[in-house]
């Protein structure tokens, strides 16, 4: 199926919709998930028009993982957890992305679970906390 340039993450990349940014470089952007599974749940997305994660070119795929590494460490510092887990789903938003989620057990990566109810203020506080451990 053709890439939909009006999906939510494409609009975030174009600056048409705000996000709680964690970090950014030439190829990749990361920001808070608006309906998180856990506090400090972060999305990492490539700056290229690709729907499925494993259709990404080698450059975007490898850069995205290297970009995600310090963010995962910041999540582990920012929120008490056993480690930072990651997941690729993409059934809701058709722009490639990686979920970074603090986990203590496998069920913490169960995306059929009810999401947390967070206020914009809580999202911002978590964003600032992650960023403070990143730099
Ligand atoms: P998936 O496509 O991997 O199934 O899930 C997409 C994820 O994007 C969900 O966890 C959802 O909460 C998140 N999401 C959907 N719309 C927005 C949005 O407008 N802003 C942000 N920050 N996250 C979103």
- Residue 63 beta carbon below 6 angstroms from any ligand 1 atom: no
> Which of 11, 21, 24, 34 best tests ligand 1's pocket when mutated (most atoms within 8 Å of CB)?
34
Distance from C-alpha of 81 to C-alpha of 100, rounded to nearest angstrom = 12
Give the residue carrying structure tokens 């947390």.
Answer: 116
If you count them, how many residues does the chain have?
135
Q: What is the pLDDT of residue 135?
A: 76
Measure the CA–CA gap between 109 and 89, rounded to whole angstroms: 11
Q: What is the best residue among 92, 97, 110 to mutate for testing ligand 1's pocket, by most ligand atoms within 8 Å of CB?
A: 92
**pLDDT at residue 1, as a whole number:** 76
CA 62 / ligand 1 centre spacing (Å): 22
Tokens 């990749």 sit on residue: 28
Q: What is the pLDDT of residue 22?
A: 98
Separate counts of helices (H) and strands (E) for the chain: 3, 5
Burial class (CB in 10 A: 0-12, 13-18, 19+), 67: buried
Q: Which two tokens stand for residue 6?
A: 């009006």
| pLDDT tens per residue across span 69-126 | 999 999 999 999 999 999 999 999 999 999 999 999 999 999 999 999 999 999 999 9
What is the pLDDT, as a whole number, of residue 125? Answer: 95
What pTM was estimated for this model as a whole?
0.97
pLDDT per residue over 14-66, tens digit each? 999 999 999 999 999 999 999 999 999 999 999 999 999 999 999 999 999 99
């Amino acid at each position: 199926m053709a890439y939909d340039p009006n999906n939510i993450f494409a609009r975030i990349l174009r600056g048409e919709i705000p996000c709680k940014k964690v970090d950014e470089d030439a190829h990749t952007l990361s920001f808070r998930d608006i309906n998180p599974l856990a506090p400090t749940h972060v999305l990492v997305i490539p700056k290229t028009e690709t729907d499925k994660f494993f259709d990404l070119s080698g450059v975007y795929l490898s850069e995205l993982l290297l970009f995600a590494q310090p963010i995962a460490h910041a999540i582990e510092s920012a929120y008490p957890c056993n480690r930072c887990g990651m997941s690729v789903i993409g059934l809701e938003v058709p722009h490639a992305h990686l979920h970074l989620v603090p986990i203590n057990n496998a069920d913490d990566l169960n995306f059929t679970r009810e999401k947390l109810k967070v206020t914009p203020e809580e999202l911002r506080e978590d964003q600032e906390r992650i960023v403070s451990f990143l730099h």
